[in-house]
Amino acid sequence: MLPLKEVIVLLSIIYGITSVSLKNEEARNNTQRNLRRFPPNFLFGVATSSYQIEGAWNEGGKGWSMWDHLMRTDPDHMADGKTGDIAANSYHLYKRDIEMMKELGVKIYRFSISWPRILPFGRPDYVNPEGVAYYNNLINELLANDITPFVTIYHWELPQNLNEQGGWLTENIVDWLGDYARVLFQNFGDRVKHWLTINEPYIHCNNGYGRGNHPPRIQSPGIAFYECGRNILLAHARAYHIYKEEFAFQGGQIAIVISSDMGMPSDDSESSAEAVEDYRAFYVGQYMDPIFSANGNYPQRLIDRVANASASQGLSQSRLRPFTQEQIDYIRGTSDFLALNHYTSKYVYRNSSIIGTFQVPSHQDDAFVGTYVDPSWTQGGTWLFTYAPGLYKLLVHLKERYNNPTIYVTENGFGDWATGLIDENRVAYLRGYTNAVLDAIDAGVDIRGYCSWSLMDNFEWAAGFTLRFGLYEVDFEDPNRTRRPRKAALVYKEIIRSRVIDPNYNPDPYLEDSNSSAIVVKTSALFILVSAIIHKLL
């Protein structure tokens, strides 16, 4: 039997622990009441793409994509020599993926459909019923869990036989993509109300047809790069018009996904201001202006600089093939909203130090600007540096330049070489960039939703599995591809639940239930249990 004095001390300690937990919870609630809130209709989501997560590369009647071809012919091109043959195995684990979305509380899932899984030979002569069934199951499961599908029609997964017939360098692809899009509208449009035609034209054309580090690995940054972009704009417009003319009765919306860093002047000089305008013309306006500007067409700065550079290189015509007026009119206005992918920012300059630093010809040489980042910015992957105000500045710029379009941020996230569940850099990135979204809302930007890239670790293209973007960690050495939430997932969950960004919220990803109210309950239960034991001893 314990002495009465020791019993009192023990009870006091337990009571003190409980009181501190309750006070911490109350303090956190008070803090949250004083923080800015996301509007009640603002939608949070997560994003992925088919090749990066699905796996099942040769299952279910799927044909070869140009990535499948690269994996068979040159797997050593990947940073780790790995392939996307299995990836995160979401073809078989999609229900677990949706469970994760439910855990987070998201209302949007942005995913892409694999062109060769639906049309194994690229054309609509044969529609693969197993592929249709897979995406029907995925879409139905999402809707059953109150999650809205945002479906990307093309996320870089071109059927290999179409690639061999010219891919994005032939204007035939305008018809090919249109026919493929029509099949998707026919099969899924009764339930999918948000369509995204093509993901990141600049990145796709630069990596596939400029730098050549993605398939089809063509290195032509001054010619094929522009032709790829031109055909992407025409193909996007074709898909848009097919939807509006043949499927308007479905009542959905359709847009294109544009990627953009934020280019900022390096100083107050006139040369920096000019450099920024040229940077934005080449890296944003090339794909934005033809769709979202009042007059359509490429930015005049882009047209003039490529024409002048082409002439100086002895060419009789510009390497940037012009649109006809009919094509300009066909492309202009073909987006019901702007789907924006943003990750990082750059300072932009132009001086003699960049002379001779670019390949000739190339779009980099045509733009003729230099860029750098602030060394104080947190670095993730090789190209990703954290500067959250850049997103705010970009959103305000788009509002002012393109007459305040409706915007969804369809990708934003932090990639790191590190594994593990404690991802403080990703947490800081997430808080900073969602705060930038709140700043943009306060500034009058018509932004309706935000999607974190990515729901889970995936096959990160040429980086293989070395670069991790996931809110959930995937164990790629485990045949079961086990997924576990990182700290950033729990922080995002709390932002979604509370609709505020609480800088003091500090979950422990190693606890099954890490919210503070659960800690209070567990402490209170401990108090009751110990009290009962002591009572029995007495």
Q: Which residues are catalytic?
A: 200, 411
Angle at 66 between CA 64 and CA 68, to 5 degrees: 55
d(CA 538, CA 534): 6
Residue type, 186: Q
Q: DSSP per residue over 87-139, as a string?
A: TT-HHHHHHHHHHHHHHHT-SEEEEE--HHHHSTTSSTTS--HHHHHHHHHHH
Contact 250, 388 (CB under 8 A): no
Residues contacting residue 357 through CB under 8 Å, at least 6 positions apart: 370
For residue 251, how many other CB atoms are within 10 A of its CB?
A: 9
| Phi, psi (deg, nearest 5) at residue 253 | -125, 155
Residue count of the chain: 538
For residue 416, how many other CB atoms are within 10 A of its CB?
A: 19
d(CA 243, CA 248): 6
Contact 421, 412 (CB under 8 A): no
Residues contacting residue 466 through CB under 8 Å, at least 6 positions apart: 79, 80, 417, 460
Contact 161, 66 (CB under 8 A): no
Q: How many CA atoms does the CB half-sphere of 95 hold within 13 Å?
A: 2
Residue 263: closest CA among 251, 255, 275: 275
Residues contacting residue 240 through CB under 8 Å, at least 6 positions apart: 197, 254, 334, 335
Give the C-alpha distances (Å, rounded to integers) separating 476 from 97, 219, 235: 15, 32, 36
In the structure encoding, which two tokens stand for residue 130, read together? 């197993």
Contact 46, 150 (CB under 8 A): no
> What element of type H or E holds 370?
strand 370-372
Residue type, 258: I
Torsion-angle region of residue 122: left (phi > 0), alpha (psi -120 to 50) or beta? Answer: left
Give the C-alpha distances (Å, rounded to integers) separating 87 from 133, 207, 372, 463, 492: 20, 21, 33, 13, 24
